[in-house]
Structure 1
């Protein structure tokens, strides 16, 4: 079963995750051989991440205050209103400098823990290093996310995600009056169209579309045609 990566993308979401990981890690340090020095780096990184996000939020608010102050200077205020004081935020930051790359560090620690013979999924769930299971896609609704760029030598290079589908049928329309033609069936996530390019100094538009294939049958829906200008 495919799972989503355990580290969230958003800064605030990562703060919540890191708060939990840093708090729980000492409970598993002996079992998984996490050194005191490593735990100190994690906890210091957690303190800095929380502090710097808070400081950033303060400065965002301060920026809004400056804008309001500037607007009041330019346009005036309603009767009875007064200008707000401009007070630059003062950060409350840990005294000790952090090691850069806190999330690279915790990812390495997570990998070490998960590779340990003593590892259990229950521990991973507690630490937050087990990914959330992704729902299995409905094959009948799958549509390839096909994209095309000019690759080596000017030949179109097609890219897509597999989504656990073994094959992709690719068709091309070279706008030469022949309509859609079967190009190839690929088991990779990239494909270079090595068809002869147009004459030097000329350009044509080629169109591509694709559909997934499994057990000899096409699955899902054709993607919308993707266009690329091909130069000679």
Structure 2
């Protein structure tokens, strides 16, 4: 079963992972052959990133307070004229070089190739993504079209599908008919152009394990020919 990527997308999630690793990884350091220097770097990164997140939140909250005060002073008719307090930050921690997440993901990659690494250790360190349930019945491709060198280029996103099946209508009163199956996310229709201008239409459906899955895309059209 496919797994999602372990790294959270938001900063709060990332700093929580760093905090957890800084606390839990020392337990497995010898087993995973993680050096004292690696641990010290990780813990410094976790402390610095946590300080930055907290400072950022304090400053943002203080900025909102000052914005409210500024607007009241500018346009209000009543209230106190006392300035709000400045942002009150805690004492800074030691700085670290740029690239905190780059360093931690590189360390995690090394951990996962360690001889004694196990899935259970990965789960305890929160460096294993959750299982993803793939439900192709709800899939519906979104296709776009562009003209390049006089030929239609059908653009689509592959996602978890194996390929896409494209049908085409050449404006010849035959309607939509099978055209091709492709894995190219920018497929060029090399069919001969008509001698006169015509409106070509396309629709597509995802394929998984050599079968159509999900729903047909919306029909899109493009003018071709002279």
TM-score range, shorter chain: 0.7 to 0.9
CA shift, 1:218, in A, is 2.4
In structure 2, the gaps of 5 or more residues are: none
For residues 200-221 of structure 1, give each alpha carbon's deviation from its aligned partner in whole angstroms, at most 9, with x where no partner exists. xx99765432112346542221
Q: Distance in 2 between matches of 1:195 and 1:93?
A: 68
1:92-111 mapped onto 2 (5 Å cutoff): 92=90, 94-111=92-109
Matching residue of 2:205:
211
SS of 1:18 mapped into structure 2: helix
Task: Describe the shift of the 1:37–1:185 C-alpha distance in structure 2 as closer, same or farther (beyond 3 A).
Answer: same
Among 156, 161, 172, which residue is 1:159 paired with? 156
Task: Describe the shift of the 1:216–1:136 C-alpha distance in structure 2 as closer, same or farther (beyond 3 A).
Answer: closer
- 2:143 and 2:204 in contact (8 A); partners too: yes
My pick for the range that moved more, 47-56 or 84-93, is 84-93
Matching residue of 1:185:
181
The yes-or-no answer on 1:222 pairing with 2:216 is yes
Q: Distance in 2 between matches of 1:105 and 1:126?
A: 20
TM-score by length of 2: 0.83
Matching residue of 2:118:
120
Q: Distance in 2 between matches of 1:140 and 1:160?
A: 17
Q: Distance in 2 between matches of 1:170 and 1:187?
A: 11
- 2:48 and 2:93 in contact (8 A); partners too: no
For residues 107-164 of structure 1, give each alpha carbon's deviation from its aligned partner in whole angstroms, at most 9, with x where no partner exists. 1111111112211111001111111001131x3332224344556777524222241x
Task: Describe the shift of the 1:95–1:14 C-alpha distance in structure 2 as closer, same or farther (beyond 3 A).
Answer: closer
SS of 2:29 mapped into structure 1: helix
My pick for the range that moved more, 189-198 or 47-56, is 189-198
TM-score by length of 1: 0.81
1:1-232 mapped onto 2 (5 Å cutoff): 1-78=1-78, 81-83=79-81, 85-92=83-90, 94-137=92-135, 139-149=136-146, 155-163=152-160, 165-173=161-169, 179-195=175-191, 206-214=200-208, 217-226=211-220
CA RMSD of aligned residues (A): 3.1
